[in-house]
Homo-oligomer: A and B are copies of this chain.
Amino acid sequence: MGLEGLSINLATVRQQFDLAQAVEACRRLGISAVAPWRDQVAKAGLAEAARIVRGNGMRVTDLCRGGMFPAADAQGRQAAIDDNKRAIDEAAALGADCLVLVCGGLPAGSRDIAAARAMVRDGIAAILPHARSAGMPLAIEPLHPMYTADRACVNTLEQALDLCDALGEGVGVAIDTYHCWWDPKLDAQIARAGKRILAHHICDWLVPTRHLLLDRGMMGDGVVDFRPIRRAIEAAGYTGPQAVEILSEEWWKRPGEEVLRICVERYNALCRVDGGSN
């Protein structure tokens, strides 16, 4: 079985590899899709980054990340809009399937979560014409509710889809098992999402989780049951790659080649639904 159903979010090996090293290591393992972060692209230079992914025959499942719309004043919100337009252009230059949006939390000093959510809606609305003209789909990623205050005030798939409904064509969702596995409405909302599913990230939830940001788990090391979620996502209409995205102090300590090899093993053993291991 080939690995065309697997993508590697390059944050997973960000401490071990730069963009070129990560892409080449993926290629050597038969992986044919990656999802880089903007800082990784910037470090290589956009044109060189595009050359690296194309030269290695890589699909770019998503660019991480736009978003971070709420700010304490109009100037800050406009700066976020301008930056998101640049992110759209970068995603287009890389030929990415979509730009992932981590929408942002409360502005500093604010306790007004409804206002922050309105800023997110208004921010996406402001960049959407640019995204449409660039042909770049925007993927709203609901983040786990433990990130509401400081990273993303969009926290359930239902909420993200309500936003999509309000915003119209050109906006969809990125579903990350780490952020969404707990949701009692997950199955129903995946079915509702349908063709608006633009990306599927995989990562496990560890018990115990010792750090809110950097203790995410390799598939199989935690409590997430990956295949039922994947089956629901495919049934809804998304058959693109599953992108491994693991932010972890533990995995960042291990050799990058080894981490990628284990991603492939665990993907084959626990996540794919198309093959003999299922």
Residue numbers of A with Cβ under 8 A of B are: 106, 110-113, 117, 144-146, 148-150, 153, 155-156, 159, 181-184, 205, 207-210, 212, 222-225
Contacts and interface: CB of A to CB of B under 8 A. Distances in A.
A182 B106 CA distance: 11
A113 B207 contact: no
A225 B144 contact: no
B149 A146 contact: no
B209 A112 contact: no
Contacts of A155: 182-184
Contacts of A222: 149
A214 to B, nearest CB: 12
Copies in the complex: 2
A183 B156 CA distance: 9
Contact of A208 (B117, B145, B212): B212
A106 to B, nearest CB: 6
23 contacts: A106-B207, A106-B223, A110-B223, A111-B223, A111-B224, A112-B225, A113-B225, A144-B145, A145-B145, A145-B146, A145-B182, A146-B209, A146-B212, A148-B181, A148-B182, A148-B205, A149-B205, A149-B207, A149-B223, A153-B182, A159-B184, A208-B212, A209-B212
Contact of A111 (B149, B150, B225): B225
Nearest to A145: B182
Contacts of A112: 225
A150 B206 CA distance: 10
Nearest to A108: B207
Given A144-B145, A145-B145, A181 B223 contact: no
A222 B159 CA distance: 24
A142 to B, nearest CB: 10
A77 to B, nearest CB: 19
A115 to B, nearest CB: 10
B113 A182 contact: yes
Given A113-B225, A212-B212, 20 more contacts: A106-B207, A106-B223, A110-B223, A111-B223, A111-B225, A112-B225, A113-B181, A113-B182, A144-B145, A144-B146, A145-B145, A145-B182, A146-B209, A148-B182, A148-B205, A150-B207, A155-B183, A155-B184, A159-B184, A210-B212
Across chains A and B, which 3 residue pairs bring their CB atoms closest together, nearest first?
A148-B182, A111-B225, A145-B182
